[in-house]
Amino acid sequence: MALTERQLIADTARETVEELRRTRARRMVRPVGDRTQRIWIALITAALLVCMVAGPVGTLSKAAGAVLAHAQHGRLPGLLVGLTTLATAGLLRLSLWLGPIVLPAPELSWLLPLPVDRRWLLRPRLSAALLAAGTAGAVLGAACGAMAASGGRPSPVGIGLAMAVGLLLAWLTAAIGVLAEGSARWARLVRAGSTLLGLAGLADLLAGHRPVLSDVLAASGPWGWAGRAIGGTAGGSAPVPLLAALALAGVTALAVTAADRSLATLPTGDLALRSRAAGRAHIGLLLLDFRQIALVAQAAARARRTGPGLRLPMPRSRLLILPWRDATALLRRPGRLVAAAAWSAGTVALLHATRLWAAQTHPDPLTAAWLGSLLSLGPYLAAAALVEPAREETDRPARTALLPFTPARIALSHLVVPTALMALLGAAAATATALLIGAPPVVLLAVLLLLTAGAPAGIGAALLGAYRGPLRYELMAVSADPYGAVPFVLWYCAPALVTVAVAAPLLWHAATATTLTAGTALAQFAVSAALAIALTVWRVISSVSRQTAP
């Protein structure tokens, strides 16, 4: 009797399952020496990781001791709780965006539809996600352990315990990410909770000598338990850090177990969408096209959006149409405004910490140049967050095809609203941060000067990156030696280098001087800002004219 199509499919599936079981049985029957070798390799890898972070941890501990020697040294346990709370919020957001369970296309299309227990298919992916998250968490734990031993010599045992606490916290966030991947309700809760944790951690770091919030966070959940446990690695025999570490380990074990059980219920459609998004993001990473990665994240955010976006009233004047479009686009992406304010506040905090560190160590000119460039990244990233409307127009040129304005005027109109927002929002965030952390007036004045008078130059540099066109990979073919990629790197980093040329001398002067009255520094800032505006306007107009030429 001929077999029906249903029977053929059932027989094929049964044979596939039996073959998978036989393969698994063969893999499970391994010599004892093979398993011992794997355990030995894991131990050697862990020891190498500890040795690799030992040097940077010592340097970070000395820098933290120099910074915290002047103020807030008695608030070190509270600062650690704030850091672990912020780290938890960031790891939760990262797990929501990346997705712990990401299947490649062959497994998604061939193996996932088979009538097998989905946990056996997804469990290796969960293990890989836990391994990656654990590595990142261990590095974060080592950094927090260096903070805990600020000024002293961190012990290897203390750093190892801090890395273990960071690993447990990262495993917990990865497991919560798996639960959120299979439930829209969990995803909403995690998204809202990570936002609240980020705000709470930031408030704790800026709370000064008022440890009430630190005590509340330390007792409220795993984010605080991790801070208390890492704080106990610097010494002492108080039972509170030990109890906090045990509680964190127990909650992490429960979360990982729940995530493992939820693997069988992950929706196939969500796995497929995440797999395609991860594929596009991976291609963008290989091509160094980070804009493509941002577009993937924006597409995922639009898919979650349910209601209509915010919209400002239409202006009556024709001259206000272009600023209205920019304001509406930024209002629909409030995260950009928050990012600009956060980078402005972070510039004040980093400049204040650099000033305290430089007073103790007296760095050489080369170190000063590197630190000045690092301090300049905050204003550049704040400006880059505010020129998102310009990037949206370069992604889709048809958005401006019917506007009654020339392409050059449309491009230069993006200077207006971002410059005003950077001067108002950035200045407000910088002032509030300086008052909360007790920064000296020279720090606040330098950052305010950079965010107000230097705002057009910063926004112009960000527009230079938005309108420079596609990536010029041909620049990497200039030479076959290892320095052949230097022209491409310089072209890629040109917008940031413009901001560094304007901001780095002023910020480093504020980090070492007592007042901001030196005529040379102010004159250099004024001349470099004017030259940067002229250069960026000329380059933006040239790029737009070249792209719109027939």
Is the model's pLDDT at 214 over the cut of 50?
A: yes
Residue that terminates a domain, selected from 235, 263, 287:
287
Closest by Cα among 504, 507, 414, 501 to 464: 414
Q: How many CB atoms lie within 10 A of CB 340?
A: 25
Q: Which two tokens stand for residue 71?
A: 């103020």
- How many whole angstroms separate alpha carbon 210 and alpha carbon 228? 17
Quick check: is 10 in a domain? no
* pLDDT of 273 strictly over 50: yes
Please say whether the beta carbons of 421 and 452 come within 8 A.
no
User: Which pLDDT does position 427 carry in this prediction?
Assistant: 92
Helix (H, G, I), strand (E, B), or coil: what is residue 117? coil
Residues 282 and 331 in one domain: no
- Out of 238, 270, 287, a domain closes at 287
In a domain, 490, yes or no: yes
Residues 210-230 have a mean pLDDT of 82
Q: For the segment 423-437, what is each residue's pLDDT rounded down to a tens digit? A: 999 999 999 888 888
Q: Confirm whether 496 is domain-assigned.
A: yes
Backbone φ/ψ region at 439: left (φ over 0), alpha (ψ -120 to 50), beta: beta
Torsion angle of C-alpha atoms 431, 435, 438, 440, degrees rounded to 10: 40
Work out the pLDDT band at 235, boundaries 50, 70, 90: low
| pLDDT tens string 313-328 | 888 888 888 888 888 8
SS3 content of the chain, % helix, strand, coil (to 5): 80, 0, 20
Is 297 within a domain? no
Long-range contacts of range 243-252, CB-CB < 8 Å, 24 or more positions apart? 244/218, 245/161, 245/165, 245/168, 247/222, 248/165, 248/168, 248/169, 248/172, 248/222, 249/168, 251/172, 251/222, 252/168, 252/169, 252/171, 252/172, 252/175, 252/222
Whether 388 and 512 map to the same domain: the answer is yes
**Do 390 and 305 contact (CB within 8 A), yes or no?**
no
Mean pLDDT estimate for the chain:
81
Q: Is residue 384 part of a domain?
A: yes
Tell me which of 281 and 539 has the higher pLDDT. 539
Q: Residue count of the chain, please give it.
A: 550
Rounded distance between C-alpha atoms, residue 520 and residue 473, angstroms: 40
Percent of the chain with pLDDT over 90: 17
How far is it, in rounded angstroms, from Cα 34 to Cα 17?
26
For residues 261 and 334, state if they share a domain.
no
**Maximum average pLDDT range among 14-28, 37-51, 185-199:** 185-199
Q: What is the pLDDT of residue 305?
A: 63
pLDDT, residue 45, reads 75
Q: What is the pLDDT of residue 34?
A: 62
Give the other-Cβ count within 10 Å of 523's Cβ. Answer: 10
- 374 and 275 share one domain: no
Regarding whether 217 and 93 lie in a shared domain, the answer is yes
Whether pLDDT at 46 is above 50: yes
The answer to whether residues 342 and 282 belong to one domain is: no
| Residue 370 reports pLDDT greater than 90 | no
Q: Are residues 258 and 356 in the same domain?
A: no
248 and 353 share one domain: no
> CA-CA distance, 382 to 429, in Å (whole number)?
11
Task: Over range 466-473, report the average pLDDT.
Answer: 86
156 shares a domain with 79: yes
pTM of the shown model: 0.80
CB 216 within 8 A of CB 78: no
Kindly indicate the confidence band of residue 255, based on its pLDDT and cuts at 50, 70 and 90: very high
Give me Rg for the CA atoms of the chain: 27
Angle between helices 222-231 and 156-181 in degrees, nearest 10: 170
Q: Which token pair is 16?
A: 């596939």
Domain presence at residue 139: yes
| 429 CB neighbour count, 10 Å cutoff | 23
Q: Which are the contacts of 230, defined by CB distance < 8 A and separation ≥ 6? A: 80, 84, 141, 144, 145, 148, 161, 162, 165, 166, 241
Amino acid in position 443: V
Same domain, 344 and 218: no
Owning domain of residue 429: 320-548
Write out 211-240 in H/E/C secondary structure. CHHHHHHHHHCHHHHHHHHHHHHHCCCCHH
| Phi, psi (rounded to 5 degrees) for 418 | -60, -35
Q: Whose CA is closest to 177, among 96, 274, 272?
A: 96
Here the tokens at position 15 are 């044979």
The predicted structure's pLDDT at residue 35: 64
Q: Look at phi and psi of residue 479 and say left if phi exceeds 0, alpha if psi is from -120 to 50, else beta.
A: beta
Least confident of 108-112, 485-489, 509-513: 108-112
Q: Domain for residue 305, yes or no?
A: no
Mean pLDDT of 515-524: 74
What pLDDT is stored for residue 1 in this prediction?
43
Q: What is the pLDDT of residues 238-253, one digit of tens each?
A: 677 788 888 999 999 9
Is residue 472 over pLDDT 50?
A: yes
Cβ partners under 8 Å of residue 44, min gap 6: none
CA distances to 80, 139, 213, 216, 548 from 204, rounded to whole Å, are 10, 22, 6, 10, 50
Count structural domains, the chain. 2
> Tokens 């273990």 label which residue?
164
CB atoms within 10 A of CB 188: 12
| 339 and 485 together in one domain | yes
Q: Are residues 164 and 111 in the same domain?
A: yes
Residue 444 belongs to a domain: yes
Task: Give me the mean pLDDT over the 412-441 stretch.
Answer: 90
Mean pLDDT, residues 64-71: 55
pLDDT digits (tens, 9 = 90+) for 114-126: 777 788 888 888 8
